[in-house]
Structure 1
């Protein structure tokens, strides 16, 4: 059974603009307006999912309407960055340059005490492969790191390629196929 998953990265928030490890802040007014304007560009879907962060929930509500039912599967949760949460990359880089270097170079590293990139990639891949049982079309508003991890799964690339994928706000990445074989259409602006 063919599955279609449209991954949408969240609209702008203060955390995203400041390169801050997510502090679960809401969307900015301009980001919310952009998401509402983009709602008409999306295909009809059977399921609406979101990463359980304020900016993903807010983007999903803006795209589908406030009353839409949005599920938040654990497999789509943002990368757990442990004690770095709420700090900017510049702040962490100044305080712990070796730790940031290790985190960016080694997908298995967890200097922040949270989840490694490799663990995130495995979790997201398991979620994607599990969708093969559902069929139909799913819209998932997810953090950029989830999009990266699912693109790696789709093209069978290693976690070491994680940081080579840029995911701008309010872009759609489409995956279609079934467990074990995925096709990719990346980066369509909404």
Structure 2
């Protein structure tokens, strides 16, 4: 049976605007307004399941879209940035240039106390390949890096390709297929009036 998974990236917040590793900030007023304007754009066909990453911006986006507060499994949470959480790449690079350089070039290298790109991509791939969709589709509101990791897996790209994929706020990236064979329709904007 063909599975269909729609990954929705969250609306903007101050952390995304500042290129800050997730710090748990909720949507700001502009992001909330944009998400509310897109409410109802995922209504047809109906979702058989809705999952929402456990970050405030994903929960806020899902709520504004009218999708409900269903929490996603651990496999669909954002990348664990360890002690870099809440800091910008510039800040981290100034204080730990060698660690950042290794992390950006070696997918098996993790931020201090965090998760490597390879491990992160593997957990997202595990979920994608085992996600039950039944007769419908899954709608998942997740962090942008989760969408990128799913695209890496679906296309068979190496984990280092994660850095070469951009995911815009309030876009849908569709995956259809089954374990081992996925087709990807890259991020299209949610419809707004």
Range of TM-score over shorter length? over 0.9
List structure 1 runs of 4+ shifted beyond 4 angstroms: 132-135
Correspondence for 1:103: 103
Taking a change above 3 Å as real, the CA distance of residues 22 and 80 of structure 1, as seen in their structure-2 partners, is same
Q: Report if aligned partners of 1:132, 1:178 keep a CA contact under 8 Å in 2.
A: no
Taking a change above 3 Å as real, the CA distance of residues 64 and 146 of structure 1, as seen in their structure-2 partners, is same
1:41 CA drift (Å): 2.1
Q: Report if aligned partners of 1:4, 1:135 keep a CA contact under 8 Å in 2.
A: no
Correspondence for 1:115: 115
- Please tell me the root mean square deviation across aligned C-alpha atoms, in Å: 1.3
State how many pairs are aligned: 188
1:69 CA drift (Å): 4.4
Using the alignment, how far apart are the partners of 1:32 and 1:70 within structure 2?
18
Q: Normalised by the size of structure 1, how large is the TM-score?
A: 0.94
Structure 1 unaligned spans of 5+: none
Higher helix share: 1
Using the alignment, how far apart are the partners of 1:80 and 1:163 within structure 2?
16
Structure 2 unaligned spans of 5+: none
Q: Report if aligned partners of 1:2, 1:132 keep a CA contact under 8 Å in 2.
A: no
Q: Normalised by the size of structure 2, how large is the TM-score?
A: 0.93
The one-character-per-residue Cα deviations of 1:93-129 (angstroms, maximum 9, x if unpaired) are 1111111111111111113221000000000000001
SS at 2:110 equivalent: coil
Correspondence for 2:47: 45
Using the alignment, how far apart are the partners of 1:132 and 1:48 within structure 2?
12
